[in-house]
Amino acid sequence: MDKFKQLGISEGILNVIKQVGFTEPSEIQEKTIPLVLAGKDVIGKSATGSGKTLAFGAGIIDKVKRGEGIQALVLTPTRELAEQVAQSLAKFSKHKGLNIKEIYGGVGIGPQIRALKYADIVVGTPGRILDHLRGRTLFLGKVKFLVLDEADRMLDMGFIRDVESIIKACPLDRQTLLFSATISGEISRIANKYMKTPIGISVQDQVDPSQLYQKYYDVQNEEKFSLLAHLLKLEKQGVVMVFCNTRRNVEKLTHNLNQQGLHALAIHGGLSQNRRSDTLRAFHSRETLILICTDVAARGLDIKGVSHVYNFDIPATSDDYIHRIGRTARAGKNGIAISFVAEGDHTEFRQICKEKGVKIEKEKVPDMKIIPIAFSSNADRKKARQGGRGRGRSGGGDWRRGGRSGGERRGGREFGGRRENRDDRRGGQRGFRPRFQRRR
Task: Please give the pLDDT value at position 399.
Answer: 30
Q: Which CATH architecture has domain 209-375?
A: 3-Layer(aba) Sandwich (3.40)
**Chain-centre distance of CA 104, in angstroms?**
14
Q: Which long-range contacts (CB under 8 A, 24 or more apart) does 251-254 make?
A: 252/373, 252/375, 253/225, 253/228, 253/292, 253/312, 253/375, 254/292
> For residue 73, how many other CB atoms are within 10 A of its CB?
25
Lowest mean pLDDT among 26-30, 227-231, 234-238, 410-414: 410-414
Give the mean model confidence (pLDDT) for residues 288-297.
Answer: 87
Helices (H), 343-411: 346-353, 378-386
**What percent of the chain has a predicted confidence (pLDDT) above 70?**
81
* C-alpha span between 73 and 177 (Å, rounded): 10
* C-alpha span between 242 and 220 (Å, rounded): 18
Task: Specify the fold of 2-202.
Answer: Rossmann fold (3.40.50)
pLDDT tens digit string along 200-220? 998 866 556 667 899 999 999
Lowest mean pLDDT among 51-60, 106-115, 141-150, 373-382: 373-382
Provide the pairing of β-strand 42-45 with 121-124. Answer: unpaired
What is the overall mean pLDDT for the chain? 83
Give the mean model confidence (pLDDT) for residues 98-117.
Answer: 94
Q: 361 in helix, strand or coil?
A: strand
Greater model confidence, 402 or 222: 222
Greater model confidence, 267 or 377: 267
> Do 89 and 53 form a contact (C-beta atoms < 8 A)?
yes
Lowest mean pLDDT among 46-50, 53-57, 198-202, 303-307: 46-50
Task: Please give the pLDDT value at position 418.
Answer: 33
> Do 338 and 193 form a contact (C-beta atoms < 8 A)?
no
Does the pLDDT at position 426 exceed 80? no
Q: Which H/E stretch holds residue 74?
A: strand 72-75
Provide the pairing of β-strand 199-202 with 212-218. Answer: unpaired
Give the mean model confidence (pLDDT) for residues 118-124.
Answer: 97
> Do 133 and 164 form a contact (C-beta atoms < 8 A)?
no
Task: Please give the pLDDT value at position 323.
Answer: 82
- The segment(s) of the chain belonging to CATH 3.40.50.300 are 2-202, 209-375
Task: Please give the pLDDT value at position 191.
Answer: 94
Task: Please give the pLDDT value at position 317.
Answer: 86
Task: Please give the pLDDT value at position 297.
Answer: 62
